[in-house]
């Protein structure tokens, strides 16, 4: 799960995505093998004992590791600038593994008010049952994080940009705060990807992704991943053994195939999203657009300071109510209505409808999620075609 990569050469992200795992491929095949097995043979009792006890062994039992997983982990670690990575069965599997590794009864967490709904539920409901308290703060206010610290704070958790309002967290400030107080800092980098943002290089301790999204990129797998220093990853791996959050070899193979083109895809996502965001900002049927690449975004300067690209995600408010927004969603033809994001297809969701099961009405208001809000994951289609479909749906919704 760890690797001596990257080499001394200062290779670019697109080169690392293609070559970072090659030293781990023992077969000579250009495409990575799929080790579709649950267990591995040992030649002797001594070798079996070594396989069973060596940390992160990829050839003992599939819950412990798998050579296909090891290759995918090497690529992701190289892309994020970490010493190692750990794959899990989903993004929530990654976050749960992190929580169970870093926290215990009596621990305190400082987290943002705006997070993915599943993580809010994990913090506010599941972990609370086991004596872990969480203080939620406004991520746009750097001073709020320090003000929320307690003597038992063990974790500062951030997601940037946020889902769905594209708010940003000052990563350098968060990292400095964690170092000052000896608190572990963790960032969900799913929306940005290492192409647009590399939190570890800004001082953050651990990064995780729902690899289902941009890292895979084709809506055909479910995976999570955590990246950090070797010692941290070994600790997390031991927890993952008990949790059983392992990823199977075929999913890892699909993930590797997606990673090869990550930079090419994300840069196109960025361009398409910026085009769509600018067009929506000028549309009379749209009240507000949330996209960190727009100069009108209140944190545009911070986005320029810590991001090299602005992601394929955006959200916007229609000039109407819930019913108007529902008519807009029903009028889309090219753009699909589906959960998830970060793939080749453009997808739209109405957060007020999608998150109703995990957030209360008060939590919606607190997070600024209005009934007229639409989240858009801009895909790789022609931006002109995407906009033409949106224009038709807007006209239908307001006629």
At 224, which CATH number? Answer: 3.40.640.10
Which of 259, 280, 307 represents a domain boundary (last residue)?
259
Q: What are phi and psi of 284, to 5 degrees?
A: -65, -20
pLDDT at position 55 over 50: yes
**144 confidence band (pLDDT: 50, 70, 90):** very high
Are 299 and 251 in the same domain? no
Q: Which of 21, 35, 64, 116 is catalytic?
A: 116
Are 145 and 37 in the same domain? yes
Are 250 and 115 in the same domain? yes
Handedness of CA 9, 13, 18, 21 (dihedral sign): positive
pLDDT of residue 2: 47
Are 177 and 299 in the same domain? no
Span 2-53, pLDDT tens digits = 445 455 568 999 999 999 998 888 888 889 999 999 998 888 888 888 877 7
Query: Average pLDDT for residues 270-297, to the nearest whole number?
Result: 98
**282 confidence band (pLDDT: 50, 70, 90):** very high
Domain-embedded: residue 387: yes
pLDDT of residue 1: 47
Higher pLDDT, 155 or 53: 155
Domain-embedded: residue 354: yes
Joined together, the tokens standing for residue 272 give 């398409």
Are 246 and 307 in the same domain? no
Are 274 and 236 in the same domain? no
Proportion of the chain above pLDDT 70, given as a percent: 94
Span 340-384, pLDDT tens digits = 999 999 999 999 887 665 566 666 666 677 899 999 999 999 999
Task: Specify whether the CB–CB gap between 185 and 156 falls below 8 A.
Answer: yes
- Domain that includes residue 193, residue range: 13-259
pLDDT of residue 58: 81
pLDDT of residue 224: 98
Joined together, the tokens standing for residue 53 give 């006890």
pLDDT at position 194 over 60: yes
- What's the distance, Cα to Cα, between the start and end of the chain in Å? 56
Are 216 and 339 in the same domain? no
Are 120 and 99 in the same domain? yes
Task: Specify whether the CB–CB gap between 292 and 311 falls below 8 A.
Answer: yes
Which of 259, 288, 314 represents a domain boundary (last residue)?
259
Higher pLDDT, 362 or 166: 166
Q: Which of 35, 59, 170, 188 is catalytic?
A: 188
Domain-embedded: residue 2: no
Query: Average pLDDT for residues 256-264, to the nearest whole number?
Result: 98
Are 197 and 87 in the same domain? yes
Q: Which of 213, 263, 265, 375 is catalytic?
A: 213
Domain-embedded: residue 8: no
Which of 208, 240, 259 represents a domain boundary (last residue)?
259
At CA 211, angle to CA 351 and CA 85, rounded to 5? 140
pLDDT of residue 128: 97
Domain-embedded: residue 239: yes
CA distance 192 to 313: 9
Proportion of the chain above pLDDT 90, given as a percent: 83
- Report the CATH number at residue 362: 3.90.1150.10
**154 confidence band (pLDDT: 50, 70, 90):** very high
Are 130 and 29 in the same domain? yes
Average pLDDT, the chain: 93
CA distance 35 to 383: 39
pLDDT at position 107 over 90: yes
Domain-embedded: residue 1: no
pLDDT of residue 360: 63
Are 102 and 114 in the same domain? yes
CA distance 164 to 152: 30
Domain-embedded: residue 164: yes
Q: Which of 61, 63, 172, 229 is catalytic?
A: 63
pLDDT at position 387 over 60: yes
Are 330 and 376 in the same domain? yes
- Enter the DSSP assignment of 316: E
Query: Average pLDDT for residues 258-273, to the nearest whole number?
Result: 98
Q: What's the pTM?
A: 0.94
- The residue written with tokens 């009596």 in the block is 106
pLDDT of residue 43: 86
User: Catalytic annotation on 116?
Assistant: yes
Span 212-250, pLDDT tens digits = 999 999 999 999 999 999 999 999 999 999 999 999 999
Domain-embedded: residue 280: yes
Domains of the chain: total:
2
Q: What are phi and psi of 103, to 5 degrees?
A: -120, 160
Query: Average pLDDT for residues 304-329, to the nearest whole number?
Result: 97
């Amino acid at each position: 799960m760890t690797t001596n990569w990257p080499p001394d050469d200062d290779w670019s992200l697109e080169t690392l995505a293609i070559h970072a795992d090659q030293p781990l491929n023992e077969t000579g095949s250009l495409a990575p093998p799929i080790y579709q097995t649950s267990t591995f043979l040992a030649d002797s009792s001594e070798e079996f004992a070594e396989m069973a006890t060596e940390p992160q062994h990829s050839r003992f039992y599939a819950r412990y590791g798998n050579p296909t997983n090891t290759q995918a982990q090497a690529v992701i670690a190289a892309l994020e600038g970490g010493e190692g990575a750990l794959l899990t069965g989903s993004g929530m599997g990654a976050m749960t593994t992190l929580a169970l590794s870093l926290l215990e009864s009596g621990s305190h967490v400082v987290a943002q008010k705006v997070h993915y709904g599943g993580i809010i539920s994990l913090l506010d409901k599941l972990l609370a049952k086991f004596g872990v308290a969480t203080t939620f703060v406004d991520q746009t206010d750097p001073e709020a994080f320090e003000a929320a610290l307690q003597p038992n704070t063990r974790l500062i958790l951030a997601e940037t940009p946020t889902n769905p309002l594209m708010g940003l967290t000052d990563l350098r400030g968060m990292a400095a705060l964690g170092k000052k107080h000896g608190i572990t800092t963790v960032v969900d980098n799913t929306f940005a990807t290492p192409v647009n943002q590399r939190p570890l290089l800004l001082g953050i301790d651990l990064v995780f992704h729902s690899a289902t999204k941009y890292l895979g990129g084709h809506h055909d797998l479910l995976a999570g991943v955590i990246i950090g220093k070797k010692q941290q990853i070994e600790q997390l791996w031991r927890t993952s053994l008990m949790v059983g959050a392992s990823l199977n070899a075929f999913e890892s193979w699909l993930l590797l195939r997606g990673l090869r083109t990550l930079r090419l895809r994300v840069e196109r996502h960025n361009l398409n999203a910026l085009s769509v965001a600018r067009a929506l900002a000028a549309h009379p049927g749209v009240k507000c657009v949330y996209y960190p690449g727009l100069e009108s975004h209140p944190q545009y300067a911070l986005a320029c300071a810590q991001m090299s690209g602005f992601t394929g995600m955006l959200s916007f408010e229609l000039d109407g109510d819930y019913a108007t927004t529902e008519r807009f969603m029903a009028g889309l033809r090219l753009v699909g209505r589906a959960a998830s994001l970060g793939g080749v297809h453009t997808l739209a969701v109405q957060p007020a409808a999608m998150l109703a099961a995990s957030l209360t009405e008060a939590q919606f208001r607190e997070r600024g999620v209005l009934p007229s809000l639409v989240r858009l994951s801009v895909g790789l289609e022609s931006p002109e075609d995407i906009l033409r479909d949106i224009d038709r749906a807007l006209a239908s919704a307001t006629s």
